[in-house]
């Protein structure tokens, strides 16, 4: 019998394909690059990078020496991005010996050097979006119970299950089903190009405290709108934090 495939959606590093949507990169309102169909290049499996043909780059690119060598794409050259009196140093990169011919003359931009990235007219957060990632939210009546050090922290029969390609399902709970008095907000923040910006809480029960073990999205992006205002527990954070779904424990570290 063939083993069940757990994650068939891992994109192999070195994968290159033509994008299907317009991508723009901006800095302080200046358009640095604008392409109706840039190349999507997976240097790593988790997300692609955008590569722009020379004619799609609006800024002047000034050679700035050698860049880091990629194990997949080969040696690189880096460029300063010149926008009038402003210079974004070493903010563009090219791989002249890349395996794919179309890539060799194309440029990729340092994500954090740009202050705005747009897919069509919608802002992209954190990193480039993969066309193969899908996010769904599903209302459920499954019984979710969260326990820390023997104390019940949350219990619900109305979770919202969030599924995301390549990741385990997550169970988001209404706050009325959670002992919010046991949660304390932290300064931790994470960003997802599919879900948005998450804020975190630590959870305390008796003498036990697990830091940044609960998160939630107040104003998630469209794909994750179903979990707005809900909270999710992260059982992989600590063996003491137990999440049970229909009597089965999930997510043990």
pLDDT in tens, 147-182: 999 999 999 999 999 999 989 999 999 999 999 999
Q: Is the dihedral of CA 125, 127, 133, 138 positive or negative?
A: negative
**Mean pLDDT value across residues 26-48:** 95
**Mean pLDDT value across residues 79-103:** 96
What is the pLDDT, as a whole number, of residue 2?
47
**What is the count of structural domains for the chain?**
2
- What is the spatial distance between Cα 92 and Cα 124, in angstroms, rounded to a whole number? 19
pLDDT over 70 percentage in the chain: 96
Q: Is residue 2 part of a domain?
A: no
pTM of the entire predicted model: 0.85
Residue 101, H or E segment = helix 101-104
- What is the spatial distance between Cα 191 and Cα 213, in angstroms, rounded to a whole number? 16
Residues 72 and 152 grouped into a single domain: no
125 band by pLDDT with thresholds 50, 70 and 90:
confident
Q: Residue 91 sits in which domain range? A: 16-123
Residues 104 and 83 grouped into a single domain: yes
Read off φ and ψ for residue 54, nearest 5 degrees.
Answer: -55, -35
Q: Is residue 199 part of a domain?
A: yes
Residues 139 and 118 grouped into a single domain: no
Residues 238 and 162 grouped into a single domain: yes
Residues 139 and 107 grouped into a single domain: no
State which of 123, 149, 184 marks the end of a domain.
123
Residues 213 and 240 grouped into a single domain: yes
Residues 144 and 193 grouped into a single domain: yes
Give 51-90 pLDDT, tens digit per residue: 999 999 999 999 999 999 999 999 999 999 999 999 999 9
Residue 38 reports pLDDT greater than 80: yes
Computed on alpha carbons and rounded to an integer, the radius of gyration of the chain in Å comes to 22
Here the CATH number for the domain that contains residue 238 is: 2.170.150.40
**Which structure tokens are listed for 143?**
């019984």
Q: Is residue 88 part of a domain?
A: yes
* Residue listed under structure tokens 């194990």: 71
Q: Is residue 45 part of a domain?
A: yes
Residues 76 and 163 grouped into a single domain: no
CA angle, residues 101, 106, 109, in degrees to nearest 5? 145
Residue 206 reports pLDDT greater than 80: yes
Top pLDDT among 176 and 5 is at 176
Residues 158 and 199 grouped into a single domain: yes
Residues 194 and 219 grouped into a single domain: yes
Q: Is residue 8 part of a domain?
A: no
Q: How much is the mean pLDDT over the chain? A: 94
């Amino acid at each position: 019998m063939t083993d069940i495939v757990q994650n068939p959606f891992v994109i192999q590093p070195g994968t290159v394909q033509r994008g299907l949507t317009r991508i723009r990169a901006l800095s302080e309102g200046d358009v640095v690059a604008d392409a109706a169909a840039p190349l999507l290049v997976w240097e790593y499996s988790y997300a692609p990078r955008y590569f722009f043909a020379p004619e799609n780059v609006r800024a002047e690119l000034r050679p700035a020496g050698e860049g880091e060598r990629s194990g997949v794409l080969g040696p690189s050259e880096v460029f300063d991005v010149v926008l009038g009196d402003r210079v974004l140093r070493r903010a563009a990169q090219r791989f002249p010996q890349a395996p794919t011919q179309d890539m060799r003359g194309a440029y990729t931009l340092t994500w954090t050097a740009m202050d705005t990235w747009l897919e069509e007219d919608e802002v992209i957060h954190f990193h480039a979006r993969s066309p193969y990632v899908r996010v769904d939210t599903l209302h459920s009546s499954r019984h979710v119970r969260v326990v820390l050090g023997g104390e019940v922290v949350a219990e619900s029969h109305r979770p919202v299950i969030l599924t995301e390609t390549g990741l385990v399902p997550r169970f988001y709970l209404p706050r009325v089903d959670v002992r919010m008095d046991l949660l304390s907000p932290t300064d931790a923040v994470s960003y997802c190009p599919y879900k948005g910006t998450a804020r975190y809480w630590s959870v305390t029960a008796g003498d036990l405290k697990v830091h940044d073990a609960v998160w939630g999205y107040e104003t998630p992006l469209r794909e994750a709108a179903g979990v707005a205002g809900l909270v999710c527990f992260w059982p992989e954070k600590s063996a003491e934090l137990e999440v049970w779904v229909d009597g089965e424990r999930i997510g043990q570290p």
